[in-house]
Amino acid sequence: PYTTLFRSGLTAAFEFSEKVLAKNSKLADLILAAARREGILTRSLLGHSLQISPPLIITKDELHFMVDGFLAALGQVEKTQP
């Protein structure tokens, strides 16, 4: 697998596998930048994981916006990888 998902409530972190990071050690930073362009705030954890922490009060539409934006960011970066 490319990532491992860790989750507690709505807080989640995606840890990229060593195999994926060996191909591109800046992958988390690329996805972070793409997510921000989509309006999604996330942060890199030690350069190999991304964390998402939505607000405590969030609507269903806002959750969809967050997931759709994050998936769009992943798709953008995936297109640029060899």
Nearest by Cα to 28 from 45, 12, 10, 11: 45
Cβ burial, residue 81 (10 Å; 0-12/13-18/19+): exposed
Q: With contact defined as beta carbons under 8 Å apart, do 77 and 30 qualify? A: yes
Residue 6 amino acid letter: F
Per-residue pLDDT of the chain (82 residues), as tens digits, is: 567 888 888 888 989 999 889 999 999 999 999 999 999 999 999 888 999 888 889 999 999 999 999 999 999 999 998 7
pTM comes to 0.85
